[in-house]
Homo-oligomer: A and B are copies of this chain.
Amino acid sequence: MPTPPAIAPRKRPRQARAAATVAAVIEAAAHILEAEGLNGFNTNAVAARAGVSIGSLYQYFPGKDAILAALIRQEAEAFDAALTQAVARTGELGTTGAVALLARVAVRHQASRPRLARLLDLEEQRLGLGREADAAGARTAATIARFLAERRLGGEEAALDILHMARGLIDGALDRGAVENLEQRLAWAILGYLALSRQAPSA
């Protein structure tokens, strides 16, 4: 029979189109935020750059903030993925080398789109999906915490402190163009913090 039950390997142009639109909108949002900041970020501009009508945009996103939320999620997931992969590659390295590797990954990620990363940090807080709601962000912290725990370098609090410290250091350095040695400076900060916090396990 030329027509089998017709269930499994169907083409799905509709859903594929939908996914492409969603991706285009998110990419457009990222581009605009990076190039123009929050000011130029309006739904009409995003739709235009994404090559879809404003109506279509609203078919896939309930509102402007949802676009931001999706972008934040995507960036957080990409960063976590990169970090997880890097942690896996630290197996045979000493602590210094391992931290240096992670520092490199963090710098690379933030440096690829510095303005965007900053804006998203701030907006994440504004959108209120700050606590708990942001699964990918929590996973990033967990990834670092796992790395620290394996080598008995610190706990969850150290992981979060390092994460925020790194963001501040990298963003600031990129702003002023002080990229030389940046990975090493970040490694100093991280290793220094860890060394002293272990020396004095506090109360």
- Do A164 and B173 form a contact, CB below 8 Å, given A118-B122, A119-B122, A202-B184? yes
Min C-beta distance of A38 to chain B, whole Å: 8
B-contact bits for A161-200, CB 8 A (1 contact / 0 none): 1011111110111011010010011011101111111001
B118, B157, B189: the one within 8 Å of A165 (CB): B189
Residue A51 at the B interface, CB < 8 A? no
Residue A15 at the B interface, CB < 8 A? no
A interface, by DSSP: helix, strand, loop or mixed?
A: helix
Residue A37 at the B interface, CB < 8 A? yes
B164, B195, B200: the one within 8 Å of A171 (CB): B164
- Do A178 and B165 form a contact, CB below 8 Å, given A185-B197, A192-B189? no
B130, B185, B196: the one within 8 Å of A188 (CB): B196
Residues of B within 8 A of A119 (CB): 122
Residues of B within 8 A of A193 (CB): 185, 188-189, 192-193
Residues of B within 8 A of A173 (CB): 160-161, 164
Kindly identify, within residues 26 to 80 of chain A, every residue whose CB is under 8 Å from any CB belonging to chain B. Answer: 37-39
Min C-beta distance of A40 to chain B, whole Å: 11
- Do A191 and B196 form a contact, CB below 8 Å, given A126-B37, A169-B164? yes
Min C-beta distance of A95 to chain B, whole Å: 12
Residues of B within 8 A of A195 (CB): 192, 195
